[in-house]
Structure 1
Amino acid sequence: MNLNRRTLLLAGGGLSAAAVLAACGDNNPLSSESPTGTAPSGSPSGSAPASDVTLTQWYHEYGEAGVKEAVEKYAAEYTGAKVEVRWTPGEYAKILAAQLLTDDVPDVFEVEQGGSLDMIRSGQLEPLNDIIDPVKDQFNPAVIKRFTFEDKIYGVPQTIDMQLLYYRPSLLEAKNIAVPTTFEELVAAANAVKTSDIGGFFAGNDGGVGVLGTILLWASGHEQLNEERTEAAFLTDDFYNALVAYRDFSKSGGVLQAASAEWYDPGAFVNGEAAFQWGGLWSLPAIKEAHGDDVGVIAFPAIGAKGRPVVPFGAFGACVAAKGKNVQAAKDFVKWLWIDQEDKQVDFSNAYGTHVPAKVALVPKADKLADGAGADAAKYVAENGFTNDIMWSGALGDAFNAAVSNVIKNDADPKAEFAGFAEKAKTELAKLKG
């Protein structure tokens, strides 16, 4: 089980990272072939080897077997500098944050969503526009949008994780039910296929409240914040109606309130406990092993007349310390690994679990995404990908989650429950901008 690679996805659904013990990984060997025909490993273009330069590169501890050996191999193949990889078990974000406050900062390190507002405001991250601007159109546009703050990009995307809705096509076909494209159709389908032995829809042992909160916001057609990032942008009847719609769904019996495993674990779906389950792309190998071709995936369906389908995504980005001793050498290495070395980028996404390459053109080269549910998932993240705004602070998220839970679990009136949120958002955002 792997907690760390998934934590950046959880804020997108409103769930505390501490609640998650997610994902399984493959133990595939390193590929010896380059599927992309990129230039061989070595020095950055136009520069001589700089063996007298030593760079430190930090990763969090990935749960998938083989990742540590892979990133060490990538580093060893670079001849522009000596790269020392540090594998960091434990609470990586806290350990990294503390280290960045010292005089001995890592030259290159990965950060969730390409950098936090605190890191940017405190000048800890070196802008990377000079290496990524010429190629940013090659990357998933939703990821690049999240990685950009005030026209500057502080990280190069490494790979993409995502959430999505799994279903069993055979169960729908048996009832002559089409794959749902709207929330109303999902409700009808889940209630039609549930039996005494199998639930309709499952999204966690809290009834789905934790992971689906922000998804309901996006699926009802809203953004978290306005374009200027000065106020909340979702306090409308359409959003309130979406909360009520999910509450009604939960009370209808179509939502499985508890199962043998959590939403981020494939266990409940593998065991046939629900016809639909909200989960992560990382669960696809285990689910396909259990159900073969009887597996489909869709985005969370649109809710209401202004709604749109949604999949939350997360992406770690390779960042460079602005106060590092070798800033240019670090940028050269990041460019070499995460922009130029496309064979390694495919390997990183495809050989250790199931992930979506950050570059759109590399997605077909990941064989786990070549067809079926994998191909559909990659399409959804490109077309329907959402993630938390960089200024959606912990205080706002906590207040939002509490209000959503009170509406769905305790029958609170949504308009009344969110009555003070607008002012809270203005105050919090003003502090962040200041």
Structure 2
Amino acid sequence: METTMSDNRPLASSPFSRRLFLGGAAAASAAALGACGSNHGSGSSQGAGGKTAIQQWYHQYGESGTQQAAKRYAAEYKDAAVTVQWIPGDYDTKLTSGLAGSSGPDAFEYHLSRALVTSNEVVELTDLIADVKDDYSDADLGSCTVDGKIYAIPMIDDPQLIFYKKSLLEAKGISSIETLDDLVSAAKELTTKDVKGLFSGNTANNDGGALVGPVIYSTGGRYLTQDMKIGFDTGLVADALLKLRQLGTDKSLLLGAPTDWTDPGSIQNGLCAMQWIGMWAVPTMSKAIEDLGVMPFPKAAPNGQPSVASGGWSAMVSAKSKHIDEAKAFTKWLWVDNTKDQEDWSLSYGFHIPPRKSLAAKATKLQSGVAATCVQLNADHGVQNDPNWTPAMGTALTDAVTRIVGKGADPEKELAAAVKKINTELQKF
């Protein structure tokens, strides 16, 4: 077991793009594709045994055994010849190019965005889960829905939280961390010449890293409201970003670690007392750290609440596939009907919450210890990605946060400018 089922590897690189943590974005092709039928696009026509050949793409997962499992699932399918493409490195860019060209996937995993829908790169999948729709949470379905139509099937839920060594906090008399102020103080108190208080990514001192989304959520905000307006109070977020900046000023952050925040190596090797990371790493962390604890990101405003960034991956079908019907049938077989393999994918190579509520309820590996706490915190405080948050919106906010946290810029002015750009994007809807 190495790191996360949550985005691009190698291990030393950050597996989630900043766009994802600024609201669940996905890369959009620059080409505007016309509506495509099942007789267009990628994929060869015939595979072994005369069966229809389809390609399924995955990013390179870090956990040992995941690639073999994906290939095993494909081999189990009898109605088509499914070839698994395991994509290392920059999956975003390779997928964007593949969806725009003629040699991309038929079925693939990604994070749904409105841009994928409006550029006609994915097909609607509402019909695939019609019979089991009630077995998914509203949050999971919301992250896979644009304008009331479902374009993706949830594969795994990956909550991200703050994990810590209980003994280090106890030694400093830190009994609880309820607010962002508490977190800043605790990180400073826990920092020694050998150990940093908190690790949240190797870029955290310059751009806030993976914590920007949780900061917004913990002020009580969201990126967007359901009626497509700005979903956060800029004043509250500005105050919270100043506290992120303070973490850097206090030199409480671990920076330049051998691996990024998605890998548990830093906390396991004693480089930090607390680390922001996903539930996927619980098995390895639990073996390495006897006194492992976990908490949500603390509330970041007086009337805010704790938050858990609940990411994940979803299955989609390319609108340029030559075999849309066959790709849909395979996607339904694997990610809707085949609960045995869904359970294996979620629990055998790391810990992830199965999106199907019925599967999650009987996942015994998640019913005790730190894993059970993660599941409960996700249920209480989890916030899923918003497919309506576009890459352009993410860039506007990311650039503002980088200037605020990394360069000392005025937070209210920067956020006001970002909001103006985001509203311009919203008007395009």
**In the TM superposition, what is the alpha-carbon distance from 1:147 to its structure 2 partner?**
0.9
**In the TM superposition, what is the alpha-carbon distance from 1:365 to its structure 2 partner?**
4.4
Structure 2 unmatched runs, 5+: 26-48
1:219 corresponding residue in structure 2: 218
Distance 1:62 1:258 in 2: 23
Identity of aligned residues (%): 37
Distance 2:85 2:253 in 1: 44
Distance 2:86 2:105 in 1: 12
1:133 aligns with 2:130: yes
Specify the SS of the correspondent of 1:134. Answer: coil
1:84 corresponding residue in structure 2: 83
- Tell me the amino acid that sits aligned with residue 414 of structure 1: P
After superposition, residues 25-424 of structure 1 pair within 5 angstroms as: 52-102=51-101, 106-110=105-109, 112-113=110-111, 115-208=112-205, 209-229=208-228, 231-252=229-250, 254-256=252-254, 259=257, 261-292=259-290, 294-424=291-421
Distance 1:16 1:314 in 2: 8
- Tell me the amino acid that sits aligned with residue 404 of structure 1: V
Q: What is the Cα-based RMSD across aligned positions, in Å?
A: 3.0
**In the TM superposition, what is the alpha-carbon distance from 1:397 to its structure 2 partner?**
2.0
Is 82-91 or 355-364 further displaced after alignment?
A: 82-91
Specify the SS of the correspondent of 1:162. Answer: strand
- Tell me the amino acid that sits aligned with residue 228 of structure 1: D
Specify the SS of the correspondent of 1:226. Answer: coil
State the TM-score, normalizing by the size of structure 1: 0.80
75 and 260 in structure 1: CA distance in 2 versus 1, 3 angstrom threshold = closer
Question: Could you tell me whether the CA contact under 8 Å between 2:15 and 2:262 is conserved in 1?
Answer: no
**In the TM superposition, what is the alpha-carbon distance from 1:299 to its structure 2 partner?**
1.2
- Tell me the amino acid that sits aligned with residue 243 of structure 2: A
Distance 2:92 2:70 in 1: 19
Distance 2:93 2:261 in 1: 26
Question: Could you tell me whether the CA contact under 8 Å between 1:143 and 1:315 is conserved in 2?
Answer: no
1:11 corresponding residue in structure 2: 19
**In the TM superposition, what is the alpha-carbon distance from 1:259 to its structure 2 partner?**
4.8
Structure 1 unmatched runs, 5+: 18-49
Distance 1:412 1:403 in 2: 9
**In the TM superposition, what is the alpha-carbon distance from 1:197 to its structure 2 partner?**
4.0
- Tell me the amino acid that sits aligned with residue 354 of structure 1: F
Question: Could you tell me whether the CA contact under 8 Å between 1:53 and 1:81 is conserved in 2?
Answer: yes
Distance 1:139 1:125 in 2: 21
425 and 324 in structure 1: CA distance in 2 versus 1, 3 angstrom threshold = same
Is 341-350 or 182-191 further displaced after alignment?
A: 182-191
94 and 413 in structure 1: CA distance in 2 versus 1, 3 angstrom threshold = closer
Distance 2:204 2:82 in 1: 46
Question: Could you tell me whether the CA contact under 8 Å between 2:224 and 2:230 is conserved in 1?
Answer: yes
**In the TM superposition, what is the alpha-carbon distance from 1:105 to its structure 2 partner?**
5.5
1:25 corresponding residue in structure 2: none
State the TM-score, normalizing by the size of structure 2: 0.81
Specify the SS of the correspondent of 2:222. Answer: coil
64 and 198 in structure 1: CA distance in 2 versus 1, 3 angstrom threshold = closer
**In the TM superposition, what is the alpha-carbon distance from 1:60 to its structure 2 partner?**
2.8
337 and 261 in structure 1: CA distance in 2 versus 1, 3 angstrom threshold = closer
11 and 140 in structure 1: CA distance in 2 versus 1, 3 angstrom threshold = farther
- Tell me the amino acid that sits aligned with residue 353 of structure 2: V
